[in-house]
Structure 1
Protein backbone atom coordinates (compact mmCIF):
# COMPACT_ATOMS: atom_id res chain seq x y z
CA UNK A 1 0.00 0.00 0.00
CA UNK A 2 1.49 3.41 -0.95
CA UNK A 3 2.27 5.73 1.92
CA UNK A 4 0.07 8.78 2.43
CA UNK A 5 1.58 12.13 1.38
CA UNK A 6 2.98 14.12 4.28
CA UNK A 7 2.73 17.82 5.00
CA UNK A 8 5.45 19.88 3.33
CA UNK A 9 7.77 21.07 6.10
CA UNK A 10 9.43 24.42 6.78
CA UNK A 11 12.63 23.28 5.07
CA UNK A 12 10.72 22.96 1.77
CA UNK A 13 9.61 26.60 1.92
CA UNK A 14 12.97 27.83 3.19
CA UNK A 15 14.57 26.25 0.12
CA UNK A 16 12.01 27.82 -2.21
CA UNK A 17 12.52 31.31 -0.75
CA UNK A 18 16.30 30.91 -0.60
CA UNK A 19 16.29 30.39 -4.37
CA UNK A 20 13.88 33.26 -5.14
CA UNK A 21 12.58 36.05 -2.89
CA UNK A 22 9.24 36.05 -4.76
CA UNK A 23 8.98 32.51 -6.13
CA UNK A 24 5.33 32.77 -7.21
CA UNK A 25 5.64 36.35 -8.57
CA UNK A 26 3.11 37.67 -6.08
CA UNK A 27 4.29 41.25 -6.58
CA UNK A 28 4.40 41.25 -10.40
CA UNK A 29 2.01 38.63 -11.81
CA UNK A 30 -1.21 39.77 -13.53
CA UNK A 31 -2.73 36.43 -12.54
CA UNK A 32 -1.98 37.05 -8.86
CA UNK A 33 -3.24 40.64 -9.06
CA UNK A 34 -6.54 39.55 -10.60
CA UNK A 35 -6.92 36.72 -8.09
CA UNK A 36 -6.25 39.09 -5.19
CA UNK A 37 -8.86 41.51 -6.54
CA UNK A 38 -11.37 38.66 -6.71
CA UNK A 39 -10.41 37.56 -3.20
CA UNK A 40 -11.03 40.97 -1.66
CA UNK A 41 -14.19 41.45 -3.74
CA UNK A 42 -15.61 38.19 -2.34
CA UNK A 43 -15.66 39.62 1.19
CA UNK A 44 -19.23 40.64 2.01
CA UNK A 45 -18.51 43.09 4.83
CA UNK A 46 -16.91 46.50 4.66
CA UNK A 47 -14.90 45.86 7.82
CA UNK A 48 -13.71 42.93 9.94
CA UNK A 49 -12.47 43.72 13.43
CA UNK A 50 -10.09 40.76 13.88
CA UNK A 51 -8.68 38.95 10.84
CA UNK A 52 -6.19 36.13 10.39
CA UNK A 53 -4.31 35.45 7.14
CA UNK A 54 -2.56 32.08 6.91
CA UNK A 55 0.34 32.00 4.45
CA UNK A 56 1.03 35.70 3.97
CA UNK A 57 4.39 35.21 2.19
CA UNK A 58 5.82 38.63 1.23
CA UNK A 59 2.62 40.44 2.20
CA UNK A 60 1.14 41.51 -1.14
CA UNK A 61 -2.39 40.28 -0.37
CA UNK A 62 -1.92 41.31 3.26
CA UNK A 63 -1.52 44.91 2.12
CA UNK A 64 -4.84 44.75 0.26
CA UNK A 65 -6.58 43.26 3.30
CA UNK A 66 -5.53 46.14 5.57
CA UNK A 67 -8.27 48.31 4.08
CA UNK A 68 -10.95 45.90 5.31
CA UNK A 69 -9.53 44.79 8.67
CA UNK A 70 -9.29 46.57 11.99
CA UNK A 71 -6.53 44.25 13.19
CA UNK A 72 -4.84 41.64 11.05
CA UNK A 73 -2.56 38.79 12.09
CA UNK A 74 -0.58 37.50 9.09
CA UNK A 75 1.58 34.37 9.39
CA UNK A 76 3.81 32.17 7.26
CA UNK A 77 5.60 28.88 7.93
CA UNK A 78 8.94 30.28 6.71
CA UNK A 79 10.67 33.27 8.25
CA UNK A 80 12.42 34.13 4.97
CA UNK A 81 9.56 35.96 3.18
CA UNK A 82 8.51 37.76 6.35
CA UNK A 83 11.32 40.31 6.11
CA UNK A 84 9.77 41.61 2.88
CA UNK A 85 6.31 41.37 4.42
CA UNK A 86 7.37 43.46 7.42
CA UNK A 87 8.88 46.10 5.14
CA UNK A 88 5.74 46.21 2.98
CA UNK A 89 3.44 46.41 6.01
CA UNK A 90 5.57 48.77 8.11
CA UNK A 91 3.16 51.72 7.53
CA UNK A 92 0.26 49.66 8.94
CA UNK A 93 0.49 49.30 12.74
CA UNK A 94 -2.76 47.30 12.77
CA UNK A 95 -0.90 44.36 11.16
CA UNK A 96 1.05 41.80 13.18
CA UNK A 97 3.35 39.44 11.27
CA UNK A 98 4.60 36.18 12.77
CA UNK A 99 6.21 32.94 11.77
CA UNK A 100 3.72 30.19 12.55
CA UNK A 101 3.30 26.64 11.25
CA UNK A 102 -0.35 25.65 10.96
CA UNK A 103 -1.76 23.36 12.38
CA UNK A 104 1.05 22.64 14.88
CA UNK A 105 0.86 26.25 16.07
CA UNK A 106 -2.25 28.40 16.26
CA UNK A 107 -3.05 31.80 17.80
CA UNK A 108 -4.97 31.80 21.07
CA UNK A 109 -7.74 34.17 20.00
CA UNK A 110 -10.89 34.30 17.89
CA UNK A 111 -11.49 36.02 14.56
CA UNK A 112 -14.35 37.30 12.46
CA UNK A 113 -12.38 36.65 9.26
CA UNK A 114 -9.89 33.88 8.47
CA UNK A 115 -8.26 33.62 5.06
CA UNK A 116 -6.64 30.40 3.85
CA UNK A 117 -5.20 31.19 0.42
CA UNK A 118 -2.92 28.81 -1.51
CA UNK A 119 -1.93 26.91 1.64
CA UNK A 120 -4.26 23.96 2.24
CA UNK A 121 -2.76 21.70 -0.43
CA UNK A 122 0.62 21.78 1.32
CA UNK A 123 -0.92 19.79 4.19
CA UNK A 124 -1.52 16.08 4.49
CA UNK A 125 -5.18 15.13 4.86
CA UNK A 126 -4.80 14.44 8.62
CA UNK A 127 -3.17 17.86 9.13
CA UNK A 128 -5.84 19.51 6.98
CA UNK A 129 -8.43 17.91 9.25
CA UNK A 130 -6.71 19.35 12.31
CA UNK A 131 -6.45 22.74 10.62
CA UNK A 132 -10.13 22.75 9.65
CA UNK A 133 -11.20 22.10 13.22
CA UNK A 134 -8.91 24.83 14.54
CA UNK A 135 -10.22 27.32 11.99
CA UNK A 136 -13.81 26.55 12.90
CA UNK A 137 -13.09 26.64 16.65
CA UNK A 138 -11.35 30.03 16.40
CA UNK A 139 -13.95 31.60 14.14
CA UNK A 140 -16.50 33.73 15.97
CA UNK A 141 -20.20 32.92 15.46
CA UNK A 142 -21.12 34.71 12.23
CA UNK A 143 -17.44 35.00 11.30
CA UNK A 144 -16.30 34.23 7.78
CA UNK A 145 -13.75 31.82 6.33
CA UNK A 146 -12.45 32.48 2.83
CA UNK A 147 -10.56 29.74 0.95
CA UNK A 148 -8.75 30.31 -2.36
CA UNK A 149 -6.67 27.57 -4.02
CA UNK A 150 -4.94 26.78 -7.30
CA UNK A 151 -6.77 23.81 -8.84
CA UNK A 152 -4.33 22.19 -11.34
CA UNK A 153 -2.42 19.14 -10.08
CA UNK A 154 1.07 19.81 -8.71
CA UNK A 155 3.20 16.67 -8.14
CA UNK A 156 4.99 18.11 -5.08
CA UNK A 157 1.79 18.89 -3.17
CA UNK A 158 0.06 16.34 -0.92
CA UNK A 159 -3.42 17.52 -2.01
CA UNK A 160 -5.10 19.41 -4.83
CA UNK A 161 -6.97 22.67 -4.44
CA UNK A 162 -10.27 20.93 -5.18
CA UNK A 163 -9.61 18.36 -2.45
CA UNK A 164 -9.04 21.17 0.04
CA UNK A 165 -12.13 23.15 -0.94
CA UNK A 166 -14.35 20.04 -1.04
CA UNK A 167 -13.11 18.96 2.38
CA UNK A 168 -14.29 22.25 3.87
CA UNK A 169 -17.60 21.95 2.01
CA UNK A 170 -18.26 18.83 4.07
CA UNK A 171 -18.54 21.12 7.11
CA UNK A 172 -21.25 23.10 5.33
CA UNK A 173 -23.62 20.17 4.94
CA UNK A 174 -26.90 20.08 6.88
CA UNK A 175 -26.28 20.70 10.59
CA UNK A 176 -22.60 21.43 9.91
CA UNK A 177 -20.84 24.32 11.64
CA UNK A 178 -20.40 26.32 8.42
CA UNK A 179 -22.75 27.83 5.87
CA UNK A 180 -21.52 28.08 2.28
CA UNK A 181 -22.05 31.60 0.95
CA UNK A 182 -20.08 31.92 -2.29
CA UNK A 183 -18.36 29.76 -4.90
CA UNK A 184 -16.26 31.12 -7.76
CA UNK A 185 -14.31 28.93 -10.13
CA UNK A 186 -11.81 30.55 -12.47
CA UNK A 187 -9.61 28.76 -15.01
CA UNK A 188 -6.93 27.81 -12.50
CA UNK A 189 -8.25 28.65 -9.04
CA UNK A 190 -11.32 28.22 -6.89
CA UNK A 191 -12.74 30.50 -4.23
CA UNK A 192 -15.25 29.54 -1.52
CA UNK A 193 -16.62 31.77 1.24
CA UNK A 194 -18.09 30.22 4.38
CA UNK A 195 -19.75 31.68 7.46
CA UNK A 196 -19.88 30.07 10.89
CA UNK A 197 -23.41 29.34 11.96
CA UNK A 198 -24.63 31.29 14.99
CA UNK A 199 -27.07 28.71 16.36
Structure 2
Protein backbone atom coordinates (compact mmCIF):
# COMPACT_ATOMS: atom_id res chain seq x y z
CA UNK A 1 0.00 0.00 0.00
CA UNK A 2 1.17 3.59 -0.60
CA UNK A 3 2.78 5.05 2.50
CA UNK A 4 2.68 8.80 1.81
CA UNK A 5 -0.54 10.35 3.18
CA UNK A 6 -0.15 13.90 1.90
CA UNK A 7 -0.03 15.51 -1.53
CA UNK A 8 3.48 15.68 -2.97
CA UNK A 9 4.45 19.35 -3.08
CA UNK A 10 6.52 21.55 -5.37
CA UNK A 11 9.71 20.88 -3.40
CA UNK A 12 9.41 17.16 -4.12
CA UNK A 13 9.28 17.80 -7.88
CA UNK A 14 11.97 20.49 -7.77
CA UNK A 15 14.30 17.94 -6.20
CA UNK A 16 13.39 15.34 -8.84
CA UNK A 17 14.17 17.73 -11.69
CA UNK A 18 17.36 19.02 -10.07
CA UNK A 19 18.63 15.45 -10.10
CA UNK A 20 17.56 14.74 -13.71
CA UNK A 21 16.13 17.13 -16.31
CA UNK A 22 14.06 14.28 -17.85
CA UNK A 23 13.51 11.96 -14.88
CA UNK A 24 10.87 9.78 -16.56
CA UNK A 25 12.65 9.67 -19.97
CA UNK A 26 9.74 11.35 -21.76
CA UNK A 27 11.96 12.17 -24.74
CA UNK A 28 13.53 8.76 -25.24
CA UNK A 29 11.35 6.03 -23.70
CA UNK A 30 9.55 3.64 -26.06
CA UNK A 31 7.02 3.06 -23.26
CA UNK A 32 6.21 6.78 -23.15
CA UNK A 33 6.02 6.99 -26.94
CA UNK A 34 3.55 4.10 -27.13
CA UNK A 35 1.51 5.58 -24.28
CA UNK A 36 1.36 8.95 -26.04
CA UNK A 37 0.16 7.24 -29.21
CA UNK A 38 -2.60 5.52 -27.22
CA UNK A 39 -3.48 8.82 -25.55
CA UNK A 40 -3.93 10.63 -28.85
CA UNK A 41 -5.78 7.69 -30.40
CA UNK A 42 -8.28 7.69 -27.52
CA UNK A 43 -9.38 11.27 -28.20
CA UNK A 44 -12.68 11.14 -30.13
CA UNK A 45 -12.49 14.62 -31.67
CA UNK A 46 -10.08 15.54 -34.42
CA UNK A 47 -9.93 19.08 -33.03
CA UNK A 48 -10.43 20.69 -29.62
CA UNK A 49 -10.90 24.39 -29.07
CA UNK A 50 -9.41 24.81 -25.61
CA UNK A 51 -7.35 22.13 -23.83
CA UNK A 52 -5.88 21.98 -20.34
CA UNK A 53 -2.94 19.67 -19.63
CA UNK A 54 -2.06 19.14 -15.98
CA UNK A 55 1.49 17.99 -15.33
CA UNK A 56 3.03 18.86 -18.69
CA UNK A 57 6.63 18.46 -17.47
CA UNK A 58 9.05 19.16 -20.35
CA UNK A 59 6.26 19.41 -22.91
CA UNK A 60 6.66 16.24 -24.98
CA UNK A 61 2.96 15.33 -24.93
CA UNK A 62 2.04 19.01 -25.17
CA UNK A 63 3.87 19.23 -28.48
CA UNK A 64 1.94 16.25 -29.83
CA UNK A 65 -1.35 17.80 -28.71
CA UNK A 66 -0.77 20.99 -30.71
CA UNK A 67 -1.97 19.27 -33.88
CA UNK A 68 -5.31 18.50 -32.23
CA UNK A 69 -5.92 21.60 -30.10
CA UNK A 70 -6.45 25.21 -31.12
CA UNK A 71 -5.36 26.42 -27.67
CA UNK A 72 -3.56 24.62 -24.86
CA UNK A 73 -2.86 25.67 -21.30
CA UNK A 74 -0.09 23.37 -20.03
CA UNK A 75 0.91 23.55 -16.36
CA UNK A 76 3.26 21.87 -13.93
CA UNK A 77 3.90 22.13 -10.20
CA UNK A 78 7.62 22.79 -10.73
CA UNK A 79 9.06 25.65 -12.75
CA UNK A 80 12.23 23.69 -13.60
CA UNK A 81 10.83 21.47 -16.42
CA UNK A 82 8.85 24.37 -17.82
CA UNK A 83 12.03 26.01 -19.08
CA UNK A 84 12.50 23.03 -21.39
CA UNK A 85 8.80 23.01 -22.30
CA UNK A 86 8.89 26.70 -23.26
CA UNK A 87 11.92 26.14 -25.47
CA UNK A 88 10.29 23.11 -27.10
CA UNK A 89 7.07 25.02 -27.82
CA UNK A 90 8.54 28.43 -28.56
CA UNK A 91 7.10 28.36 -32.09
CA UNK A 92 3.59 27.43 -30.89
CA UNK A 93 1.73 30.67 -30.07
CA UNK A 94 -1.41 28.68 -29.25
CA UNK A 95 0.28 27.12 -26.18
CA UNK A 96 0.47 28.84 -22.80
CA UNK A 97 2.82 27.31 -20.23
CA UNK A 98 2.46 28.16 -16.55
CA UNK A 99 3.69 27.00 -13.18
CA UNK A 100 0.58 26.15 -11.16
CA UNK A 101 0.02 24.36 -7.85
CA UNK A 102 -3.27 22.52 -8.31
CA UNK A 103 -5.73 22.39 -6.55
CA UNK A 104 -4.79 25.56 -4.64
CA UNK A 105 -4.44 27.34 -7.99
CA UNK A 106 -6.74 26.71 -10.93
CA UNK A 107 -7.43 28.56 -14.20
CA UNK A 108 -10.64 30.56 -14.52
CA UNK A 109 -11.65 29.10 -17.86
CA UNK A 110 -13.74 26.36 -19.45
CA UNK A 111 -12.13 23.57 -21.47
CA UNK A 112 -13.45 21.04 -23.95
CA UNK A 113 -10.46 18.76 -23.24
CA UNK A 114 -8.70 18.18 -19.92
CA UNK A 115 -5.80 15.76 -19.54
CA UNK A 116 -4.76 14.36 -16.18
CA UNK A 117 -1.86 12.15 -17.20
CA UNK A 118 0.55 10.61 -14.68
CA UNK A 119 -0.21 13.15 -11.94
CA UNK A 120 -3.38 12.06 -10.14
CA UNK A 121 -1.56 9.72 -7.77
CA UNK A 122 0.54 12.60 -6.43
CA UNK A 123 -2.53 13.98 -4.62
CA UNK A 124 -3.87 12.89 -1.26
CA UNK A 125 -7.43 11.56 -1.42
CA UNK A 126 -8.92 14.83 -0.03
CA UNK A 127 -6.96 16.93 -2.53
CA UNK A 128 -7.90 14.59 -5.36
CA UNK A 129 -11.51 15.20 -4.36
CA UNK A 130 -10.94 18.92 -4.80
CA UNK A 131 -9.20 18.32 -8.12
CA UNK A 132 -12.04 16.13 -9.37
CA UNK A 133 -14.63 18.77 -8.58
CA UNK A 134 -12.59 21.52 -10.22
CA UNK A 135 -12.10 19.45 -13.37
CA UNK A 136 -15.80 18.71 -13.66
CA UNK A 137 -16.74 22.34 -12.97
CA UNK A 138 -14.36 23.62 -15.67
CA UNK A 139 -15.15 20.97 -18.29
CA UNK A 140 -17.55 22.16 -20.98
CA UNK A 141 -20.74 20.17 -21.63
CA UNK A 142 -19.81 17.24 -23.91
CA UNK A 143 -16.15 17.98 -23.15
CA UNK A 144 -13.64 15.15 -22.68
CA UNK A 145 -11.61 14.31 -19.59
CA UNK A 146 -8.76 11.89 -20.25
CA UNK A 147 -6.94 10.09 -17.43
CA UNK A 148 -3.78 8.06 -18.03
CA UNK A 149 -1.77 6.63 -15.13
CA UNK A 150 0.91 4.11 -14.24
CA UNK A 151 -0.79 1.35 -12.24
CA UNK A 152 1.94 -0.37 -10.17
CA UNK A 153 2.38 0.84 -6.59
CA UNK A 154 5.01 3.56 -6.04
CA UNK A 155 5.67 3.87 -2.34
CA UNK A 156 6.35 7.63 -2.48
CA UNK A 157 2.92 8.31 -3.96
CA UNK A 158 -0.23 8.80 -1.87
CA UNK A 159 -2.41 6.85 -4.34
CA UNK A 160 -2.14 4.33 -7.17
CA UNK A 161 -3.29 4.88 -10.72
CA UNK A 162 -6.22 2.54 -10.11
CA UNK A 163 -7.21 4.54 -7.02
CA UNK A 164 -7.36 7.68 -9.15
CA UNK A 165 -9.37 6.20 -12.00
CA UNK A 166 -11.79 4.36 -9.75
CA UNK A 167 -12.43 7.60 -7.87
CA UNK A 168 -13.42 9.35 -11.10
CA UNK A 169 -15.57 6.39 -12.12
CA UNK A 170 -17.81 7.23 -9.16
CA UNK A 171 -19.03 10.22 -11.22
CA UNK A 172 -19.90 7.98 -14.17
CA UNK A 173 -22.90 6.36 -12.51
CA UNK A 174 -26.34 6.81 -14.17
CA UNK A 175 -27.04 9.86 -11.99
CA UNK A 176 -23.49 11.22 -12.23
CA UNK A 177 -22.05 14.11 -14.21
CA UNK A 178 -19.74 12.04 -16.44
CA UNK A 179 -20.17 9.32 -19.04
CA UNK A 180 -17.45 6.66 -19.20
CA UNK A 181 -16.49 6.43 -22.88
CA UNK A 182 -13.24 4.44 -23.12
CA UNK A 183 -11.33 2.06 -20.86
CA UNK A 184 -7.97 0.64 -21.87
CA UNK A 185 -5.55 -1.26 -19.68
CA UNK A 186 -2.00 -1.95 -20.76
CA UNK A 187 0.53 -3.97 -18.77
CA UNK A 188 1.57 -1.03 -16.56
CA UNK A 189 -0.82 1.82 -17.26
CA UNK A 190 -4.53 2.51 -17.48
CA UNK A 191 -6.44 4.93 -19.71
CA UNK A 192 -9.99 6.13 -19.10
CA UNK A 193 -11.88 8.71 -21.13
CA UNK A 194 -14.92 10.49 -19.76
CA UNK A 195 -17.39 12.89 -21.34
CA UNK A 196 -19.31 15.49 -19.38
CA UNK A 197 -23.06 15.19 -19.71
CA UNK A 198 -25.02 18.15 -21.04
Matched, 1:129 2:129: yes
Where does the alignment leave 5 or more consecutive residues of structure 2 unmatched? none
SS at match of 2:70: strand
- Distance, in Å, in 1 between the alignment partners of 2:4 and 2:127 is 12
Contact 2:113 2:139 in 1 (8 A): yes
- Distance, in Å, in 2 between the alignment partners of 1:80 and 1:31 is 23
Contact 2:4 2:155 in 1 (8 A): no
| CA RMSD of superposed structures (Å) | 0.9
TM-score when scaled to structure 2? 0.98
Q: Deviations over 1:111-132 (max 9, x none)?
A: 0000000000000000000000
SS at match of 1:70: coil
Question: C-alpha displacement at 1:15, in angstroms?
Answer: 0.1
Question: C-alpha displacement at 1:4, in angstroms?
Answer: 7.2
Question: C-alpha displacement at 1:91, in angstroms?
Answer: 1.1
TM-score when scaled to structure 1? 0.97
Question: C-alpha displacement at 1:107, in angstroms?
Answer: 0.1
SS at match of 1:68: coil
Question: C-alpha displacement at 1:174, in angstroms?
Answer: 1.3
Give the equivalent residue in structure 1 for 2:187: 187
* Alignment length (residue pairs): 196
Question: C-alpha displacement at 1:9, in angstroms?
Answer: 0.5
- Distance, in Å, in 2 between the alignment partners of 1:172 and 1:145 is 12
- Distance, in Å, in 2 between the alignment partners of 1:4 and 1:38 is 30
SS at match of 2:80: coil
> Larger RCO: Structure 1 or Structure 2 (Cα < 8 Å, ≥ 6 residues apart)?
2
Mapping of residues 135-150 of structure 1, within 5 Å: 135-150=135-150
Mapping of residues 97-136 of structure 1, within 5 Å: 97-136=97-136
- Distance, in Å, in 2 between the alignment partners of 1:90 and 1:180 is 35
- Distance, in Å, in 2 between the alignment partners of 1:101 and 1:186 is 29
Over 4 Å off, 4+ runs:
none
SS at match of 2:158: coil
Contact 2:4 2:156 in 1 (8 A): no
SS at match of 2:17: helix
Where does the alignment leave 5 or more consecutive residues of structure 1 unmatched? none
- Distance, in Å, in 2 between the alignment partners of 1:157 and 1:62 is 24
Give the equivalent residue in structure 1 for 2:46: 46
SS at match of 2:36: helix
- Distance, in Å, in 2 between the alignment partners of 1:69 and 1:81 is 22
